[in-house]
Structure 1
Amino acid sequence: MSSTESPDARAVPVVPPTRSSQVSAGEKLRTVTLPGVTLTVRSRPPAREGLPPALYVHGLGGSSQNWSELMERLADTVDGEALDLPGFGDAPPPGDGDYSITGYARVVIRYLDASARGPVHLVGNSMGGAVATRVAAVRPDLVRTLTLVSPALPELRPQRTAVPTGLLAVPGVVSLFARMTKDWSPERRTREVLALCYGDPSRVSPEGFALAVAEYERRLELPYFWEVMARSARGIVDAYTLGGQHSLWRQAEKVLAPTLLVYGVRDQLVSIRMARRASKAFRDSRLLTLLQAGHVAMMEDPDVVARAFRELLADTATTSERSAPPRG
């Protein structure tokens, strides 16, 4: 963004748009219909039978394809699936109109109960990290381990660069933003969101950029696109204001599952300052800090994130073996 552009013009989707209808080699997409909600599930067959299940949950403005690179790298470790949450990717909006963090958590729980895949290794990014935290807190029976990439947990003093996205929650701002950016090309919109999300946007390949532009064009044609963005952003803000037992930080303290926290030093949406607080809140946690990464480390440094995830699973398995009662 040039110095002459208003920072408010960066109130754009906060996860890079990737072509949701694009299926990477080896992946499959299927539609799952549950009472009141329709989901799209992206999966990659595991390298061998018997691997433990994993479920990936994307962030605001994202889709299941945000996890494709990480899923590919972990196909020898877990049996992975990634959801398109209602209103995102190829999934239609929720029938009940509930875009709250709790509402999305209910959807994830409903899917896990219906699929009988739990307990899973649950992985979430940004808004999906907040959703995954709530799931792990209220249904510990469904979660083996928890991995959070730049989770959207409440910040009292958000970064200046994150303020415009939060403004999406304010009534009327979406229509104002649409008027402000009506002359923007899909290429410019994509460059803006990549600049906001990546620590180094130049790491996106020309092919990846072209796919992101095409997906942005597709999304803008959806009649519900901006409403879903606004109401989901409002759901995040509302979750930030909840106190007592429903506070996300209070629920983080209740999480029993071993937790991997991944933060990028160059993250413009979730401050690296929150890493320390999160490390204290989650009782059984480890922290991975990436110096060059921004908001979507699983897309920027998938090899490093995959290695840390494997280490989490290996250490968890070792701990379980040590705590198991003797046989015989």
Structure 2
Amino acid sequence: MSSTELPSVPPTSVLPEAAAVRIAEGERLRSVGLPGVTLSIRSRPPARAGLPPALYVHGLGGSSQNWSDLMQRLEDVVDGEAVDLPGFGDSPPPDDGDYSVTGHARAIIRYLDAFGRGPVHLFGNSLGGAVSTRVAAVRPDLVRTLTLVSPALPELRVQRSAVPTVLLGLPGVAGLLTRTTGKWTAEQRVRGVLALCYGDPGRVSPEAFEHAVQELERRLRLPYFWDAMARSARGIVNAYTLGGQHGLWRQAERVLAPTLLIYGGRDQLVGYRMAPKAARTFRNARLLSMPDAGHVAMMEYPETVAGAFRELLADTDERGAGDGAPGARG
């Protein structure tokens, strides 16, 4: 579709309440059509009008549901939305099949530009952390603050527990996994994911576990599920090998937005040892180390993550009010 065929405001439709994807109480889910991509956007009504916008970006294999708890805890300070990246959650695959970190970042930028949401308080977990870093580096005008939970930034020595995720990006491995794990139940798969991603899987309530099983069963029925997983994993691996100005660490150096870095001591996918390097690389960063957390601290300890962001927000607003910086509201 050419740009001349697009309406001035991209089409938006509210997904029906009966949609298979889970919509928590107070949440709204809508589908947004953009050039080359359709995105599902999860949101909660802000506590009052005029709050600054926020956007939450999930990790590999995740969805906008990963942010529901945190989004609810911050609804009094930001106007929050969480996106399903192309091929994940309730978003269909991108038209061009591009699941690279750059491809995902391009989708985020298109959404923010189309709806005039920027500058936003941008949150990213894992893959979403790499995507958000790239967005903040190439489009600083779109990012007010940056909060990264276990961001997937290149490591010289990948943790052994993360090797299967890396291997998923190799050609043919997704098909092999589909064949070799075909008899695994959704419950078995979810337990494995929780053991990998949580510092303490026991923190997951029975209700949350059941919701996760239902969501995985739904997504396993999608014909593009494994392809989206494999291509996005390959995108992370490829991003790790990029050098020069396109390297993720080089881009991290270019981020201007105040940055909150959150690392879990029990993270089996992103090395806890990378936290000091990240704190040195992002020029305006603060670090929250959580020894008991795993890969998804915003799901395990949403109250702690929310408190750290509130401090970032308060300090950012105070500095903005002091120097007359634009957009320092909230």
Q: TM-score range by the shorter chain?
A: over 0.9
Residue of structure 2 equivalent to 1:94: 94
Following superposition, the deviation at residue 321 of structure 1 comes to 2.1
Q: Superposed, which structure 2 residues align to 1:32-181 within 5 Å?
A: 32-181=32-181
Task: Write out per-residue CA displacement over residues 39-81 of structure 1, whole angstroms, 9 at most, x where no aligned residue.
Answer: 0000000001111000000011010110000000000010000
Give yes or no for contact 1:20–1:89 (8 Å, CA) kept in 2: no
Q: Superposed, which structure 2 residues align to 1:1-328 within 5 Å?
A: 21-324=21-324
| Residues 79/67 of structure 1: CA separation in 2 closer, same or farther (3 Å cut) | same
Task: Write out per-residue CA displacement over residues 194-218 of structure 1, whole angstroms, 9 at most, x where no aligned residue.
Answer: 0000000011001111111111111
Distance 1:297 1:143 in 2: 22
Task: Write out per-residue CA displacement over residues 146-169 of structure 1, whole angstroms, 9 at most, x where no aligned residue.
Answer: 000000000010100000111001
Distance 2:149 2:97 in 1: 26
Give yes or no for contact 2:53–2:117 (8 Å, CA) kept in 1: yes
Distance 2:289 2:44 in 1: 27
| Residues 20/296 of structure 1: CA separation in 2 closer, same or farther (3 Å cut) | farther
Residue of structure 2 equivalent to 1:6: none
Distance 2:217 2:72 in 1: 26
Question: 3-state SS of the aligned residue for 1:56?
Answer: strand
- Which of the pair has the greater relative contact order for Cα pairs under 8 Å at 6+ separation? 1
Question: 3-state SS of the aligned residue for 2:272?
Answer: coil
- Count how many residue pairs are aligned between Structure 1 and Structure 2: 307
Following superposition, the deviation at residue 179 of structure 1 comes to 2.0
Distance 1:24 1:182 in 2: 30
Give yes or no for contact 1:130–1:153 (8 Å, CA) kept in 2: yes
Q: Which amino acid aligns with 1:222?
A: L
Distance 1:172 1:34 in 2: 31
Task: Write out per-residue CA displacement over residues 90-113 of structure 1, whole angstroms, 9 at most, x where no aligned residue.
Answer: 110000111000011010000000
Task: Write out per-residue CA displacement over residues 262-281 of structure 1, whole angstroms, 9 at most, x where no aligned residue.
Answer: 01000000000110100011
Give yes or no for contact 1:20–1:63 (8 Å, CA) kept in 2: no
Q: Which amino acid aligns with 1:66?
A: N
Distance 2:178 2:97 in 1: 22
Distance 2:286 2:97 in 1: 36
Task: Write out per-residue CA displacement over residues 245-277 of structure 1, whole angstroms, 9 at most, x where no aligned residue.
Answer: 000000000000000000100000000011010
Question: 3-state SS of the aligned residue for 1:209?
Answer: helix
Question: 3-state SS of the aligned residue for 1:273?
Answer: helix
Distance 2:34 2:258 in 1: 29
Distance 1:182 1:26 in 2: 36
Q: With structure 1 as the length reference, what TM-score do the two structures score? A: 0.92
Question: 3-state SS of the aligned residue for 1:153?
Answer: coil
Give yes or no for contact 1:20–1:90 (8 Å, CA) kept in 2: no
Distance 1:315 1:191 in 2: 39
Following superposition, the deviation at residue 323 of structure 1 comes to 2.0
Distance 1:225 1:55 in 2: 24
Q: With structure 2 as the length reference, what TM-score do the two structures score? A: 0.92
Residue of structure 2 equivalent to 1:5: none
| RMSD of equivalent CA atoms | 1.1
Following superposition, the deviation at residue 84 of structure 1 comes to 0.5
Give yes or no for contact 1:69–1:302 (8 Å, CA) kept in 2: yes
Question: 3-state SS of the aligned residue for 1:31?
Answer: strand
Give yes or no for contact 1:166–1:233 (8 Å, CA) kept in 2: yes
Identify unmatched segments of 5+ residues in structure 1.
1-18
Give yes or no for contact 1:149–1:261 (8 Å, CA) kept in 2: yes
Following superposition, the deviation at residue 20 of structure 1 comes to 7.3
Distance 2:193 2:173 in 1: 18
Identify unmatched segments of 5+ residues in structure 2.
1-18, 326-330
